[in-house]
Structure 1
Amino acid sequence: MSLPFAKWQGLGNHHLVVERTDWALPITPARAQRILDPAFGVGGDGILEVSHEDDGTPRMTVWNPDGSQAENCGNGIRIIALHLRDAGRLPADGRILTGGGPVEVAVLDDDRVEVRMGRARFPAGEARETLAVAGDGVEFAEVSMGNPHAIIEHPDPSSVVRALGPAIETDARFPERTNVEFVRAEGPSELTMRVWERGVGETLACGTGACAAAVAAVRLGGLTSPVTVHLAGGDLEIAVGDDLEVTMTGPAEEIYRGALSPELVRALEEL
């Protein structure tokens, strides 16, 4: 049984891309965990599983390293856009389905991908809340991009992402857990951001997180759209409309292609 995949990265957020029709072995939570284990599998921040609806519209399903599924993945959708473009299967309207709803993509002349991410929401209203974490009160803004985000302003985002990220992700305030973004404004249209991703941990970039952070910065922090978000793996440009429609622009690239070994396939069959 051959299980082929392609390894891609978007600003260092690295994923396996698999075509559901090419995999005779269905992906399950346990199998996703094993495949994404860096010691016993291929390793990665996620698996992007491509399937197609009856009308031919492509769908992206996102598997996390802990076996859970994410509703959407901003870096992942840029990867899938280029993957489909290279295979000659990107729809003319650029429409791709995700667990968080449909998005529209356009590949630009420089191979960056522009993604209409849909409308952001403030589930608890356009205001900051206070959360008790490790004995201290932490202010955050809750933003949904089809998946949940908690945005926290901090003068040194890198210093707290691992210390506070896990506790905030799993706090009872977020029954489905949450992604956590620590941000610092660098100017009227710039943010530095570090991220703790739900079900993954610290990563070099998070596209939906950058969108959520830009939305909070524009609506609650007075920044001007478009916002350049500086992540550990590179920069994204996020445009936030008055109606909270969000457009993300950034790069992605393929790293290599391969197939799971017969030994790993046998191990997966037993899970």
Structure 2
Amino acid sequence: MRIPFTKMHGLGNDFVVLDARTQELPRISGSIAKAIADRRQGIGCDQLILLEPSESCDFRMRIFNADGGEVEACGNAARAVALLHGEPARVETAGGQIALSPADGGATVDMGTPRFDWEAIPLAYAMDTAAMPLAWEELGNPMAVNVGNPHAIFFVDDADAVDLATLGPQIEHDPVFPERVNVNVASVVGEDHLKLRVWERGAGLTRACGTGACATAMAAMKRGLVGRTATVTLPGGDLVIEWDTDNRIQMTGPATEAFRGTFEWDEFA
């Protein structure tokens, strides 16, 4: 059975998108998602995105990381899907409903409301999520935010100087984060301007992380480091994050369709 796919990216964070809204596809397992994501023997991507019918929204978006694990949210993928869908839509995700509004070359995504209480992150036990009394080598006192998925944010003088390839997996798998965590290191580089690098849970270092940009902006706003609208510069480019008056996160940025193709299902099953 040959399956059509669309290869897309948001600021270099890349996706294979499968559309099961109008055609029935075989069941996606973690092992199949991992095989498709493999950059040497598969199609190659940071995340596999599956679009399905939804009873509560216009459609459902499921997200599988490169390690095969299914996760709750992906902001860059949401912009890519908005571009692919081509019109405003409400979308069901495991992290809650989001709203997409495509624009020329990208989209604005209503990512919902941030959650700061320890049980919503979730953490293994109660603590102050605004400045967690924890440290991993030079990284300490992070803020924890859930924006559909869990994030720990560290503010440092120079985000580029942190050995995130080493510290990222240590923090991601620390028992204090029972569902693991995305690890963000950020620096304030100007008025309402942040520089960010992210170790993504289940994907590792990527060129951009939309939910990471949202979580980091929320943390910076809560700490008074930036105003209610901020530009977040990632290795792949810029996102604009606004915390609106309804307590909702608005993320705006580009997305790109790279190419379309088909693959033989049995090669990955």
Q: 1:18: how far off?
A: 0.3
Matches of 1:24 and 1:74 in 2, distance apart? Answer: 24
SS in 2 for 1:155: coil
Matches of 1:172 and 1:54 in 2, distance apart? Answer: 36
Equivalent pair of 1:120/1:215 in contact (CA under 8 Å): yes
Structure 2 equivalent of residue 119 of structure 1: 113
Matches of 2:194 and 2:151 in 1, distance apart? Answer: 16
- Pairing of 1:124-203 with structure 2 (within 5 A): 124=118, 125=128, 127-134=130-137, 138-160=140-162, 161-203=164-206
Deviations 1:77-107 (A, max 9, x none): 011111111xxxx4x5x21111111111212
Matches of 2:56 and 2:152 in 1, distance apart? Answer: 36
Structure 2 equivalent of residue 224 of structure 1: 227
Amino acid at match of 1:57: D
Deviations 1:166-204 (A, max 9, x none): 111111110000001100001220000000000000000
Structure 2 equivalent of residue 33 of structure 1: 34
Equivalent pair of 2:57/2:90 in contact (CA under 8 Å): no
Q: 1:111: how far off?
A: 3.3
Matches of 1:201 and 1:70 in 2, distance apart? Answer: 14
Closer, same or farther: CA 23–30 of 1 in aligned 2, 3 Å: farther
- Pairing of 1:1-271 with structure 2 (within 5 A): 1-20=1-20, 21-22=22-23, 24-54=25-55, 57-85=58-86, 90=87, 94-108=89-103, 110-124=104-118, 125=128, 127-134=130-137, 138-160=140-162, 161-241=164-244, 244-260=247-263, 262=264, 265-269=265-269
Q: 1:123: how far off?
A: 2.1
> How big is the alpha-carbon RMSD for the aligned residues of Structure 1 and Structure 2?
1.7
Amino acid at match of 1:75: N
SS in 2 for 1:119: coil
Matches of 2:53 and 2:25 in 1, distance apart? Answer: 16
Amino acid at match of 1:156: D
Q: 1:215: how far off?
A: 0.4
Amino acid at match of 2:96: G
Q: TM-score, normalised by structure 1?
A: 0.90
SS in 1 for 2:222: helix
Equivalent pair of 1:65/1:200 in contact (CA under 8 Å): yes
Q: 1:243: how far off?
A: 5.3
Matches of 1:137 and 1:31 in 2, distance apart? Answer: 35
- Give the number of equivalent residue pairs: 258
Amino acid at match of 1:112: G
Equivalent pair of 1:121/1:244 in contact (CA under 8 Å): no
Relative to its length, the structure with more helix (as a share) is: 1
Deviations 1:107-148 (A, max 9, x none): 23x3331111110011235621132324x5612000000110
Equivalent pair of 2:192/2:227 in contact (CA under 8 Å): yes
The sequence identity of aligned pairs, in percent, is: 40
Equivalent pair of 1:9/1:252 in contact (CA under 8 Å): yes
Amino acid at match of 2:52: S
Deviates more, 1:154-163 or 1:63-72: 154-163
| Structure 1 unmatched ranges of 5 or more | none
Closer, same or farther: CA 48–221 of 1 in aligned 2, 3 Å: same
